Structure 1
Amino acid sequence: MDERRLAIAAWESLFRAQVDVMRHISHDFPSHGISLNEYDVLHTMSREPDRRIRLRDLNSSVLLSQPSISRLVDRLVARGLVGKCPDPDDGRGTLVRMTDAGYDVYRAVAIAHGATIAERVTTSLSPQEMATLAALSDKLRGA
């Protein structure tokens, strides 16, 4: 198999594995008051200093369209899980910050969701394979 065909086959395999794993994980997602998309936003924010991120940077970090993220953030604000304020460094920008209540909800879901992920991955891959998968995925993302 030539390099181009091998690349396409590898990509298709990766894509199909991702779809299958996401279906499994989505089916078992512990929806304790938040959706998988809301979890994705809160997870992204949890990794930021002070659990705060510019809305523009959040848009580039999650797999949703900008209007969808704006509506989702507004719903999280209305529920007290996230706060919004103008960016002091750029008056045109907006900062979003996870509240303590938002962090509590996020952590409860993250613990259960993490167990589902770990169960799915550890039943399929050895520790060495998991490390290789992580390294290869990081390498692809950085390309």
Structure 2
Amino acid sequence: MNAQPAESPVRLAAETWESLFRAQVAVMRRLQSGPAFKALAVNEYDVLFTLSRCPSGWLRLNELNDNVLLSQSSLSRLVERLERRGLLERMPAPQDGRGVLLKLTDAGRDLQKQIGREHVRDISALLTPALTAGEQRELLRLTEKLRGAVSGR
């Protein structure tokens, strides 16, 4: 009888992370190549999407930075480009002279909704054949659990 050696928790964690990361990269590459992102790059859409979910309409630049996958300097340049295109506006934070508040313009909100509808259809077309509804719910539960544990929520 050949007993398999016990799996190292460190190795399992590394393999799990690599699998999660590579799956995310593969999905994002496929989605980025789709028709939804012809008018706007994925990282630009991410900024518009994050701002669209802000209940007050305004979000601090540093709070936006906490929710997107860009460095602070890259985000600042991206925000400037989006502002020049008329998709968002910014203003100094009233109680903090160094802080910056951001808000979608009507054009930014319209573009985000237009791309968002197509993006959701692309996501569904990609995930539905690959995972059952139950598997999607389980993946959602696991990724939310992981994100909560990592972010301390």
- Please classify the TM superposition score into its range, dividing by the shorter chain length: over 0.9
| Equivalent residues in 2 for 1:33-52, closer than 5 Å | 33-52=39-58
The alpha-carbon distance between structure 1 residues 25 and 90, as it changes in their structure 2 partners (threshold 3 A), is same
Task: Give secondary structure in 2 for the equivalent of 1:91.
Answer: strand
Q: Which runs of 5+ in 1 are unaligned?
A: none
How far off its partner does 1:121 sit?
A: 0.8
Offset of 1:32 from its aligned partner? 4.8
Corresponding residue for 2:122?
A: 116
1:131 paired to 2:130: no
Which residue identity does 2:110 align to in structure 1? D
For residue 17 of structure 1, what is the aligned residue in structure 2?
23
2:89 partner SS: strand
Deviations 1:65-117 (A, max 9, x none): 11111111111111111000011132220000001110001100001111101
User: Identity over the aligned pairs, expressed in percent?
Assistant: 48
- When Rg is computed on C-alpha atoms for both structures, the one with the higher figure is 2
Which residues in structure 2 correspond to 1:88-103 (within 5 Å)?
88-103=94-109
Check conservation: 1:32, 1:109, Cα contact below 8 A.
Answer: no
Residue aligned with 1:50, SS: coil
Q: Following the alignment from structure 1 to structure 2, what is the Cα–Cα distance between the partners of residues 31 and 128?
A: 29
| Alignment check: 8 A CA contact 1:38 1:72 kept | yes
Structure 1: how far apart are the matches of 2:88 and 2:68?
16
**3-state DSSP of counterpart to 2:102:** strand
Looking at structure 2, the residues matched to 88 and 34 of structure 1 have their Cα atoms a distance apart, in angstroms, of 31
Mapped pair 1:77 → 2:77: no
DSSP-derived class of the 1:51 partner: coil
Residue number in structure 1 paired with 2:9: 3
- Unaligned 5+ segments in structure 2 are 1-6
What's the TM-score, normalizing by structure 2? 0.88
Cα drift, residue 10 of structure 1: 1.2
Preserved CA contact (<8 Å) 1:54 1:93: yes
Report the equivalent of 1:140: 146
Total equivalences in the alignment: 143
Shift of 1:29: 4.6
Q: CA RMSD in A?
A: 1.2
